[in-house]
Amino acid sequence: MDFACSNEQQSFYDMALQFGAERIAPFASDWEEAGTIPRDLLKAAGELGLGGIYACEEFGGSALGRLDATLIFEALSKACPSVAAFISIHNMCVSMIDKYASRDIKERLLPDLCRFEKVASYCLTEPGSGSDAAALRTRAVHRGTEGYVLNGSKAFISGGNFSDIYLVMCRTGEDGPKGISTIVVESSCSGLSFGAFEKKMGWKAQPTAEVRFDDCVVPAGNLVGVEGQGFRYAMAGLDGGRLNIAACALGGAQSALDRAVRYMQERRAFGSLLKDFQALQFRVADMETELQAARIFLYQAAWKLDQNAPDASKHCAMAKRFVTDAAFDVANQALQLLGGYGYLADYGIEKIVRDLRVHQILEGTNEIMRLIVARSMFAP
Protein backbone atom coordinates (compact mmCIF):
# COMPACT_ATOMS: atom_id res chain seq x y z
CA MET A 1 0.00 0.00 0.00
CA ASP A 2 1.58 3.24 -1.20
CA PHE A 3 0.58 6.44 0.60
CA ALA A 4 2.93 8.71 -1.34
CA CYS A 5 1.80 11.14 -4.03
CA SER A 6 3.23 10.56 -7.47
CA ASN A 7 5.59 13.17 -8.88
CA GLU A 8 2.79 14.36 -11.13
CA GLN A 9 0.36 14.71 -8.23
CA GLN A 10 2.95 16.59 -6.22
CA SER A 11 3.39 18.98 -9.12
CA PHE A 12 -0.38 19.60 -9.23
CA TYR A 13 -0.36 20.35 -5.52
CA ASP A 14 2.66 22.65 -5.73
CA MET A 15 1.19 24.50 -8.70
CA ALA A 16 -2.11 25.12 -6.89
CA LEU A 17 -0.30 26.10 -3.69
CA GLN A 18 1.83 28.66 -5.52
CA PHE A 19 -1.14 30.01 -7.46
CA GLY A 20 -3.08 30.42 -4.25
CA ALA A 21 -0.21 32.11 -2.44
CA GLU A 22 0.46 34.57 -5.27
CA ARG A 23 -2.93 35.20 -6.86
CA ILE A 24 -5.51 34.56 -4.12
CA ALA A 25 -4.22 34.97 -0.55
CA PRO A 26 -3.06 38.63 -0.85
CA PHE A 27 -6.49 39.71 -2.12
CA ALA A 28 -8.89 37.39 -0.30
CA SER A 29 -9.96 40.01 2.27
CA ASP A 30 -10.60 42.58 -0.47
CA TRP A 31 -12.76 40.13 -2.42
CA GLU A 32 -14.67 39.32 0.74
CA GLU A 33 -15.50 42.99 1.22
CA ALA A 34 -16.44 43.36 -2.43
CA GLY A 35 -18.59 40.23 -2.30
CA THR A 36 -17.29 38.84 -5.57
CA ILE A 37 -14.40 37.00 -7.19
CA PRO A 38 -12.73 38.82 -10.12
CA ARG A 39 -13.25 37.28 -13.51
CA ASP A 40 -9.58 37.73 -14.36
CA LEU A 41 -8.64 35.52 -11.40
CA LEU A 42 -10.90 32.77 -12.71
CA LYS A 43 -9.48 33.13 -16.21
CA ALA A 44 -5.97 32.84 -14.76
CA ALA A 45 -7.09 29.63 -13.04
CA GLY A 46 -8.44 28.45 -16.38
CA GLU A 47 -5.05 29.01 -18.00
CA LEU A 48 -3.63 26.49 -15.51
CA GLY A 49 -6.28 23.92 -16.39
CA LEU A 50 -8.37 24.52 -13.27
CA GLY A 51 -11.59 25.27 -15.14
CA GLY A 52 -12.10 21.70 -16.36
CA ILE A 53 -10.11 19.52 -14.00
CA TYR A 54 -11.93 16.27 -14.84
CA ALA A 55 -13.22 17.15 -18.32
CA CYS A 56 -11.80 15.28 -21.30
CA GLU A 57 -8.90 16.81 -23.18
CA GLU A 58 -10.85 16.91 -26.47
CA PHE A 59 -12.80 19.93 -25.23
CA GLY A 60 -9.99 21.60 -23.31
CA GLY A 61 -10.20 19.75 -20.02
CA SER A 62 -7.31 18.47 -17.92
CA ALA A 63 -8.67 14.88 -17.62
CA LEU A 64 -7.40 14.49 -14.06
CA GLY A 65 -8.73 12.12 -11.42
CA ARG A 66 -10.62 12.77 -8.21
CA LEU A 67 -7.55 12.27 -6.03
CA ASP A 68 -5.67 14.78 -8.18
CA ALA A 69 -8.52 17.27 -7.69
CA THR A 70 -8.56 16.67 -3.94
CA LEU A 71 -4.90 17.67 -3.75
CA ILE A 72 -5.53 20.76 -5.87
CA PHE A 73 -8.47 22.01 -3.77
CA GLU A 74 -6.67 21.32 -0.51
CA ALA A 75 -3.79 23.49 -1.73
CA LEU A 76 -6.01 26.29 -3.08
CA SER A 77 -8.04 26.48 0.12
CA LYS A 78 -4.94 27.27 2.15
CA ALA A 79 -5.16 30.65 0.44
CA CYS A 80 -8.95 31.03 0.70
CA PRO A 81 -11.56 28.28 1.23
CA SER A 82 -14.29 30.45 -0.30
CA VAL A 83 -12.51 30.95 -3.62
CA ALA A 84 -11.35 27.33 -3.75
CA ALA A 85 -14.90 26.08 -3.14
CA PHE A 86 -16.27 28.34 -5.87
CA ILE A 87 -13.82 26.83 -8.34
CA SER A 88 -14.81 23.35 -7.16
CA ILE A 89 -18.55 23.98 -7.76
CA HIS A 90 -17.82 25.17 -11.29
CA ASN A 91 -15.83 22.00 -11.89
CA MET A 92 -18.68 19.84 -10.62
CA CYS A 93 -20.93 21.37 -13.29
CA VAL A 94 -18.30 20.96 -16.00
CA SER A 95 -17.84 17.32 -15.03
CA MET A 96 -21.58 16.62 -15.30
CA ILE A 97 -21.77 18.26 -18.74
CA ASP A 98 -18.69 16.37 -19.90
CA LYS A 99 -20.05 13.05 -18.65
CA TYR A 100 -23.74 13.23 -19.58
CA ALA A 101 -24.47 16.00 -22.12
CA SER A 102 -24.83 15.64 -25.87
CA ARG A 103 -21.86 16.23 -28.13
CA ASP A 104 -23.50 19.42 -29.36
CA ILE A 105 -23.65 20.87 -25.85
CA LYS A 106 -20.09 19.78 -25.15
CA GLU A 107 -18.74 21.38 -28.32
CA ARG A 108 -20.67 24.58 -27.66
CA LEU A 109 -20.00 25.05 -23.93
CA LEU A 110 -17.07 23.03 -22.63
CA PRO A 111 -14.17 24.91 -24.27
CA ASP A 112 -15.22 28.22 -22.70
CA LEU A 113 -16.03 26.56 -19.38
CA CYS A 114 -12.68 24.78 -19.24
CA ARG A 115 -10.88 28.06 -19.92
CA PHE A 116 -13.05 29.79 -17.30
CA GLU A 117 -14.18 32.20 -20.00
CA LYS A 118 -17.63 31.19 -18.75
CA VAL A 119 -18.65 30.23 -15.22
CA ALA A 120 -21.15 27.52 -14.25
CA SER A 121 -23.47 27.21 -11.24
CA TYR A 122 -25.06 24.07 -9.79
CA CYS A 123 -28.80 24.53 -9.19
CA LEU A 124 -30.40 21.81 -7.07
CA THR A 125 -31.53 23.29 -3.73
CA GLU A 126 -34.88 25.07 -3.53
CA PRO A 127 -36.49 27.25 -0.84
CA GLY A 128 -38.85 24.44 0.15
CA SER A 129 -36.61 21.42 -0.42
CA GLY A 130 -33.11 21.54 1.02
CA SER A 131 -32.00 18.16 2.28
CA ASP A 132 -35.04 16.54 0.62
CA ALA A 133 -33.72 17.33 -2.84
CA ALA A 134 -35.90 14.76 -4.58
CA ALA A 135 -38.95 16.84 -3.59
CA LEU A 136 -37.90 19.78 -5.77
CA ARG A 137 -40.74 21.63 -7.49
CA THR A 138 -39.12 23.67 -10.27
CA ARG A 139 -40.84 22.37 -13.38
CA ALA A 140 -39.84 22.24 -17.04
CA VAL A 141 -42.57 21.63 -19.62
CA HIS A 142 -41.58 20.53 -23.12
CA ARG A 143 -43.46 22.62 -25.68
CA GLY A 144 -42.36 21.24 -29.02
CA THR A 145 -40.20 23.51 -31.13
CA GLU A 146 -40.33 26.18 -28.43
CA GLY A 147 -38.20 23.94 -26.21
CA TYR A 148 -38.59 23.73 -22.43
CA VAL A 149 -40.39 26.35 -20.35
CA LEU A 150 -39.18 26.48 -16.74
CA ASN A 151 -40.98 27.85 -13.70
CA GLY A 152 -39.71 27.82 -10.13
CA SER A 153 -36.69 28.94 -8.15
CA LYS A 154 -33.41 27.71 -6.69
CA ALA A 155 -31.97 28.90 -3.38
CA PHE A 156 -28.44 29.53 -2.05
CA ILE A 157 -26.88 29.31 -5.51
CA SER A 158 -23.16 30.08 -5.60
CA GLY A 159 -22.67 32.26 -8.66
CA GLY A 160 -26.29 33.36 -8.83
CA ASN A 161 -26.46 36.54 -10.97
CA PHE A 162 -22.75 36.06 -11.74
CA SER A 163 -22.45 32.84 -13.74
CA ASP A 164 -23.04 32.32 -17.44
CA ILE A 165 -24.35 28.75 -17.23
CA TYR A 166 -26.85 27.33 -14.73
CA LEU A 167 -27.06 23.54 -14.50
CA VAL A 168 -30.64 23.13 -13.31
CA MET A 169 -32.27 20.04 -11.83
CA CYS A 170 -36.00 20.36 -12.58
CA ARG A 171 -39.14 18.27 -12.72
CA THR A 172 -40.20 17.04 -16.17
CA GLY A 173 -42.28 14.10 -14.99
CA GLU A 174 -43.80 12.41 -11.95
CA ASP A 175 -43.13 13.18 -8.31
CA GLY A 176 -39.97 11.76 -6.80
CA PRO A 177 -36.45 11.32 -8.17
CA LYS A 178 -37.50 9.55 -11.39
CA GLY A 179 -39.32 12.65 -12.60
CA ILE A 180 -36.26 14.92 -12.43
CA SER A 181 -34.16 16.00 -15.42
CA THR A 182 -31.10 18.21 -15.86
CA ILE A 183 -31.22 21.21 -18.18
CA VAL A 184 -28.60 23.81 -19.06
CA VAL A 185 -29.97 27.34 -18.69
CA GLU A 186 -27.78 30.03 -20.21
CA SER A 187 -27.76 33.54 -18.75
CA SER A 188 -29.18 34.92 -22.01
CA CYS A 189 -32.42 32.91 -21.69
CA SER A 190 -35.59 34.96 -21.34
CA GLY A 191 -37.46 34.57 -18.06
CA LEU A 192 -34.31 34.06 -15.99
CA SER A 193 -33.92 36.44 -13.04
CA PHE A 194 -32.26 36.60 -9.64
CA GLY A 195 -32.90 37.61 -6.07
CA ALA A 196 -30.72 39.98 -4.08
CA PHE A 197 -27.26 38.80 -3.12
CA GLU A 198 -27.40 36.92 0.18
CA LYS A 199 -25.73 38.26 3.32
CA LYS A 200 -23.80 35.35 4.78
CA MET A 201 -21.68 34.37 7.77
CA GLY A 202 -18.86 33.15 5.54
CA TRP A 203 -18.03 32.49 1.89
CA LYS A 204 -18.52 36.23 1.42
CA ALA A 205 -16.30 36.40 -1.65
CA GLN A 206 -18.78 34.17 -3.47
CA PRO A 207 -21.78 35.96 -4.97
CA THR A 208 -24.79 33.93 -3.80
CA ALA A 209 -28.37 34.55 -4.87
CA GLU A 210 -31.72 32.92 -5.55
CA VAL A 211 -32.15 31.90 -9.20
CA ARG A 212 -35.68 32.35 -10.55
CA PHE A 213 -37.43 30.96 -13.61
CA ASP A 214 -40.59 32.70 -14.81
CA ASP A 215 -41.69 31.10 -18.08
CA CYS A 216 -37.97 30.76 -18.79
CA VAL A 217 -37.57 29.43 -22.34
CA VAL A 218 -34.71 27.01 -22.97
CA PRO A 219 -33.91 25.19 -26.24
CA ALA A 220 -34.82 21.50 -26.20
CA GLY A 221 -31.22 20.69 -27.09
CA ASN A 222 -30.10 21.98 -23.69
CA LEU A 223 -31.42 18.85 -21.99
CA VAL A 224 -28.51 16.98 -20.41
CA GLY A 225 -28.67 13.26 -21.10
CA VAL A 226 -32.22 11.88 -21.05
CA GLU A 227 -35.36 12.95 -19.23
CA GLY A 228 -35.88 11.36 -15.83
CA GLN A 229 -32.19 10.77 -15.16
CA GLY A 230 -31.35 14.20 -13.75
CA PHE A 231 -31.46 13.20 -10.11
CA ARG A 232 -29.03 10.37 -10.75
CA TYR A 233 -26.70 12.78 -12.55
CA ALA A 234 -26.96 15.25 -9.68
CA MET A 235 -26.18 12.65 -7.02
CA ALA A 236 -23.22 11.31 -9.00
CA GLY A 237 -21.90 14.85 -9.29
CA LEU A 238 -22.26 15.30 -5.54
CA ASP A 239 -19.94 12.37 -4.78
CA GLY A 240 -17.03 14.33 -6.20
CA GLY A 241 -18.41 17.62 -4.90
CA ARG A 242 -18.39 16.27 -1.36
CA LEU A 243 -14.75 15.30 -1.69
CA ASN A 244 -13.89 18.78 -2.95
CA ILE A 245 -15.76 20.52 -0.13
CA ALA A 246 -13.98 18.28 2.36
CA ALA A 247 -10.63 19.09 0.72
CA CYS A 248 -11.36 22.81 0.95
CA ALA A 249 -12.20 22.43 4.63
CA LEU A 250 -9.03 20.45 5.21
CA GLY A 251 -6.79 23.04 3.58
CA GLY A 252 -8.44 25.89 5.45
CA ALA A 253 -8.08 24.13 8.78
CA GLN A 254 -4.43 23.31 8.09
CA SER A 255 -3.80 26.97 7.38
CA ALA A 256 -5.48 27.95 10.65
CA LEU A 257 -3.38 25.45 12.61
CA ASP A 258 -0.16 26.60 10.92
CA ARG A 259 -0.98 30.20 11.87
CA ALA A 260 -1.63 29.18 15.46
CA VAL A 261 1.67 27.29 15.69
CA ARG A 262 3.57 30.32 14.40
CA TYR A 263 1.80 32.53 16.91
CA MET A 264 2.68 30.16 19.77
CA GLN A 265 6.35 30.37 18.83
CA GLU A 266 6.29 34.16 19.26
CA ARG A 267 3.71 34.94 21.95
CA ARG A 268 4.73 35.02 25.61
CA ALA A 269 2.53 34.59 28.66
CA PHE A 270 3.54 34.26 32.31
CA GLY A 271 7.17 34.58 31.30
CA SER A 272 7.23 31.72 28.79
CA LEU A 273 6.43 31.19 25.11
CA LEU A 274 3.06 29.59 24.51
CA LYS A 275 4.77 26.71 22.74
CA ASP A 276 6.41 25.71 26.03
CA PHE A 277 3.15 25.08 27.89
CA GLN A 278 2.50 21.35 27.87
CA ALA A 279 -1.27 21.73 27.88
CA LEU A 280 -1.07 23.73 24.65
CA GLN A 281 1.45 21.29 23.17
CA PHE A 282 -1.04 18.48 23.76
CA ARG A 283 -3.80 20.50 22.13
CA VAL A 284 -1.91 21.23 18.90
CA ALA A 285 -0.70 17.63 18.79
CA ASP A 286 -4.30 16.44 18.86
CA MET A 287 -5.29 19.00 16.23
CA GLU A 288 -2.52 17.85 13.90
CA THR A 289 -3.47 14.21 14.47
CA GLU A 290 -7.11 14.94 13.60
CA LEU A 291 -6.13 16.63 10.36
CA GLN A 292 -3.75 13.85 9.35
CA ALA A 293 -6.44 11.23 10.00
CA ALA A 294 -8.93 13.29 8.01
CA ARG A 295 -6.45 13.67 5.15
CA ILE A 296 -5.85 9.91 4.82
CA PHE A 297 -9.58 9.21 4.99
CA LEU A 298 -10.26 11.82 2.29
CA TYR A 299 -7.56 10.51 -0.02
CA GLN A 300 -8.90 6.96 0.34
CA ALA A 301 -12.42 8.08 -0.57
CA ALA A 302 -11.08 9.95 -3.61
CA TRP A 303 -9.14 6.86 -4.67
CA LYS A 304 -12.29 4.75 -4.39
CA LEU A 305 -14.21 7.19 -6.58
CA ASP A 306 -11.42 7.07 -9.16
CA GLN A 307 -11.61 3.27 -9.10
CA ASN A 308 -15.44 3.24 -9.38
CA ALA A 309 -15.51 1.11 -6.24
CA PRO A 310 -19.02 -0.11 -5.32
CA ASP A 311 -18.78 1.57 -1.92
CA ALA A 312 -17.41 4.87 -3.27
CA SER A 313 -20.56 6.88 -2.51
CA LYS A 314 -20.56 5.63 1.07
CA HIS A 315 -16.91 6.62 1.53
CA CYS A 316 -17.49 10.03 -0.07
CA ALA A 317 -20.29 10.65 2.43
CA MET A 318 -18.19 9.43 5.37
CA ALA A 319 -15.22 11.52 4.32
CA LYS A 320 -17.32 14.64 3.84
CA ARG A 321 -18.85 14.26 7.30
CA PHE A 322 -15.64 13.39 9.13
CA VAL A 323 -13.33 15.86 7.41
CA THR A 324 -15.60 18.90 7.58
CA ASP A 325 -16.44 18.28 11.25
CA ALA A 326 -12.77 17.79 12.14
CA ALA A 327 -11.68 20.79 10.08
CA PHE A 328 -14.16 23.18 11.67
CA ASP A 329 -13.21 21.97 15.15
CA VAL A 330 -9.50 22.46 14.46
CA ALA A 331 -10.03 25.93 12.98
CA ASN A 332 -12.16 26.93 15.97
CA GLN A 333 -9.50 25.66 18.40
CA ALA A 334 -6.83 27.54 16.45
CA LEU A 335 -8.80 30.74 16.98
CA GLN A 336 -8.96 29.97 20.71
CA LEU A 337 -5.18 29.55 20.87
CA LEU A 338 -4.75 33.12 19.69
CA GLY A 339 -7.16 34.41 22.31
CA GLY A 340 -8.48 37.88 21.54
CA TYR A 341 -6.18 38.21 18.55
CA GLY A 342 -7.82 35.19 16.94
CA TYR A 343 -11.07 37.14 16.92
CA LEU A 344 -9.52 39.94 14.90
CA ALA A 345 -9.60 39.95 11.10
CA ASP A 346 -5.91 40.89 10.90
CA TYR A 347 -4.82 37.38 11.89
CA GLY A 348 -6.94 35.58 9.29
CA ILE A 349 -8.27 32.76 11.45
CA GLU A 350 -11.72 34.21 12.13
CA LYS A 351 -12.34 34.25 8.37
CA ILE A 352 -11.38 30.59 8.10
CA VAL A 353 -13.77 29.69 10.93
CA ARG A 354 -16.59 31.59 9.24
CA ASP A 355 -15.85 30.04 5.85
CA LEU A 356 -15.59 26.46 7.12
CA ARG A 357 -18.86 26.47 9.03
CA VAL A 358 -20.93 26.09 5.87
CA HIS A 359 -18.93 23.04 4.76
CA GLN A 360 -20.87 21.04 7.34
CA ILE A 361 -24.11 22.09 5.61
CA LEU A 362 -23.69 22.19 1.84
CA GLU A 363 -23.37 19.33 -0.65
CA GLY A 364 -25.69 17.50 1.76
CA THR A 365 -25.69 18.29 5.47
CA ASN A 366 -23.57 16.12 7.70
CA GLU A 367 -26.79 14.67 9.11
CA ILE A 368 -27.70 13.52 5.60
CA MET A 369 -24.20 12.05 5.24
CA ARG A 370 -24.95 9.89 8.27
CA LEU A 371 -28.19 8.73 6.66
CA ILE A 372 -26.37 7.76 3.47
CA VAL A 373 -23.82 5.74 5.43
CA ALA A 374 -26.41 4.05 7.63
CA ARG A 375 -28.61 3.11 4.68
CA SER A 376 -25.66 1.55 2.88
CA MET A 377 -24.87 -0.47 6.01
CA PHE A 378 -28.41 -1.86 6.23
CA ALA A 379 -28.91 -2.36 2.50
CA PRO A 380 -29.86 -5.95 1.54
Active site positions, annotated: 363
Using CB atoms within 10 Å of the CB of residue 274, give its burial: 0 to 12 exposed, 13 to 18 middle, 19+ buried: buried
State the Cα–Cα distance between residues 66 and 57, nearest whole angstrom: 16
Closest CA to 85 of 94, 71, 74, 95: 74
Using CB atoms within 10 Å of the CB of residue 178, give its burial: 0 to 12 exposed, 13 to 18 middle, 19+ buried: middle
The partner residues of 181 in beta bridges, in order of sequence, read 170
For residue 62, which amino acid is it? Answer: S
Closest CA to 367 of 324, 333, 310, 330: 324
Q: Would you put residue 75 in left (φ > 0), alpha (ψ -120 to 50) or beta?
A: alpha
The sign of the CA dihedral 290, 296, 298, 300 is negative
With H, G, I as helix, E, B as strand and everything else as coil, classify residue 102. Answer: coil
State the Cα–Cα distance between residues 25 and 285, nearest whole angstrom: 26
Distance of CA 149 to the CA centre of its chain: 29
Q: What is the CA radius of gyration of the chain?
A: 21
DSSP codes, 173-199? SSSSGGGEEEEEEETTSTTEEE-PPPP
End-to-end CA distance of the chain: 30
The C-alpha angle 65, 185, 317, rounded to 5 degrees, equals 40
Strand 165-171 to strand 120-123: parallel, antiparallel, or no bridges (unpaired)? parallel
Answer whether 205's CB lies under 8 Å from 32's CB. yes
